[in-house]
Amino acid sequence: MLLHRLILSTVNRSSQSKFVRLIATSSVQIEFKDGLANITVPLPSRGESCVFQLKPFNTTIGDFIDVLQKEDRGIDRASVYLSDGSRLSRNSPVELIFEEPSTLRVNETSYNVQPPTLFTSSKPSRDVLSDVSNSITKLYYDLRLNQYVTYRERELEKQLEYLRDTVQPMNEIHNQLANKAIRRLKWIQWSILAGMAFQTGVLFRLVWIDYSWDIMEPFTYFISYSTVFMAYCYYVLRRNDMKYMNMSDYFYLKILHRLLRKKNFDIARYNALKNEIMIVEHDLQRLKDPLDRIIGTP
pLDDT of residue 58: 76
DSSP state of 208: I
* Cα Rg of the chain (Å, integer): 40
HSE, side-chain direction, 13 A CA sphere, residue 244: 5
pLDDT of residue 284: 86
pLDDT of residue 129: 66
pLDDT of residue 9: 40
| Whole-structure pTM value | 0.46
Sorting pLDDT into bands at 50, 70 and 90, what band is 172? very high
pLDDT of residue 274: 92
pLDDT digits (tens, 9 = 90+) for 180-189: 999 999 998 8
pLDDT of residue 140: 62
Higher-pLDDT residue of 29 and 20 is 29
CA distance 72 to 41: 11
pLDDT score of 260 more than 80: yes
Sorting pLDDT into bands at 50, 70 and 90, what band is 8? very low
CA distance 195 to 188: 10
pLDDT of residue 243: 76
pLDDT score of 78 more than 50: yes
Give the mean model confidence (pLDDT) for residues 27-32.
83
HSE, side-chain direction, 13 A CA sphere, residue 122: 0
CA distance 70 to 42: 14
pLDDT of residue 14: 40
Edge to edge, the sheet with strand 102-106 lists: 48-54, 36-43, 26-33, 109-113, 102-106, 78-82
Its CATH architecture, for the domain 27-119, is Roll (3.10)
Cα dihedral 99, 103, 106, 111 sign: positive
Higher-pLDDT residue of 10 and 260 is 260
pLDDT mean across residues, the chain:
79
CA distance 33 to 136: 18
pLDDT score of 279 more than 90: yes
Three-class secondary structure of residue 188 per DSSP: helix
Contact 221, 203 (CB under 8 A): no
pLDDT of residue 183: 93
**Number of Cβ atoms within 10 Å of the Cβ of 192:** 11
Domain boundaries, the chain: 27-119, 130-295
Three-class secondary structure of residue 168 per DSSP: helix
Virtual CA dihedral for 26, 28, 29, 30, nearest 10 degrees? -160
Three-class secondary structure of residue 105 per DSSP: strand
CA distance 56 to 115: 12
Lowest mean pLDDT among 127-136, 227-236, 260-269: 127-136
Ramachandran area for residue 98 (φ above 0: left; ψ -120 to 50: alpha; else beta): alpha
Contact 161, 232 (CB under 8 A): no
Q: ∠ at Cα 104 (102, 107), nearest 5°?
A: 155
Three-class secondary structure of residue 51 per DSSP: strand
Contact 281, 160 (CB under 8 A): yes
Which residues lie across from 43 on neighbouring strands? 48
pLDDT of residue 159: 92
Enumerate the H helices of the chain as residue ranges. 2-21, 61-71, 96-99, 125-142, 145-205, 213-238, 244-262, 267-288, 290-295
pLDDT of residue 125: 56
pLDDT digits (tens, 9 = 90+) for 117-164: 665 555 565 666 676 777 776 666 666 666 777 788 889 999 999 999
Give the mean model confidence (pLDDT) for residues 245-254.
84
